[in-house]
Amino acid sequence: MKLTFRWYGPGDPVSPAYIRQIPRMTGIVSSLRNCAPGEVWLRENVRTLRETIEAAGLRFSVVESINIHENIKLGLPDRDALIARYAQSVEAVAAEGVPVICYNFMPVFDWLRTDLEIPQPDGSTALGFDQKDMEAIDFSEGTQDLPGWHAAYTGEEVTALRAGYAELSEEDLWHNLAYFLERIVPVAERAGVRLAIHPDDPPWSVAGFPRIITSGAALKRVTQLVDSEANGVTLCTGSLGANPAEAARLPETIRSLAGRIHFVHARNVTHLGDRSFQESVHPDGDVDMAAVMEALLEIGFDGPARPDHGRMIWGEEGLAGYGLYDRALGAAYMAGLWDATVRQAA
- Name which of ligand CS2, Mn ion, none residue 64 binds, using a CB cut-off of 5 to 8 Å depending on partner kind: ligand CS2
Q: Please report the DSSP string for 175-234 in residue order.
A: HHHHHHHHHHHHHHHHHT-EEEEEPPSSSS-BTTB-----SHHHHHHHHHHS-STTEEEE
Among 236, 247, 295, 331, binds Mn ion (CB under 5 A): 236
Q: Indicate if 69 belongs to the active site.
A: no
Q: Does the protein bind ligand CS2 through residue 158 (CB under 6 A)?
A: no
What is the total residue count of the chain? 346
Segment lying near Mn ion (by CB under 5 A), choices 42-50, 261-269, 299-307, 312-320: 261-269
Dist. CA 176–CA 74, nearest whole Å: 7
How are beta strands 59-64 and 115-119 bridged, if at all?
Answer: unpaired
The b-or-e profile of 254-265 (16+ CB within 10 A means b, else e) is bebbeebbbbbb
3-state class (DSSP) for residue 330: helix
- Torsions phi, psi of 152, nearest 5? -70, -50
Asked if 64 is part of the footprint of ligand CS2 (rule: CB under 6 A), the reply reads yes
**Least distance CB 279 / ligand CS2 (angstroms):** 9
Alpha-carbon gap, residue 91 to 87, rounded angstroms? 6
Among 7, 86, 111, 139, binds ligand CS2 (CB under 6 A): 111
* Residue 308 sits in the site that holds ligand CS2 (CB under 6 A): yes
**Toward ligand CS2, which CB reaches closer, 110 or 302?**
110
Of 64, 96, 308, 326, the one binding Mn ion (CB under 5 A) is 308
193-212 binders of ligand CS2 (CB under 6 A): 198, 201
Q: How many residues bind Mn ion (CB under 5 A)?
A: 3
> Measured at CB, which residue is nearest to ligand CS2?
111
List 262, 265, 282, 326, catalytic entry: 265
- Residue 63 contacts residue 102 (beta carbons within 8 Å): yes
35 in active site: no
**Site of interaction with ligand CS2 (CB under 6 A):** 64-65, 102-104, 110-111, 198, 201, 236, 238-239, 265, 308
Active site residue ranges:
198, 236, 265, 308-309, 322
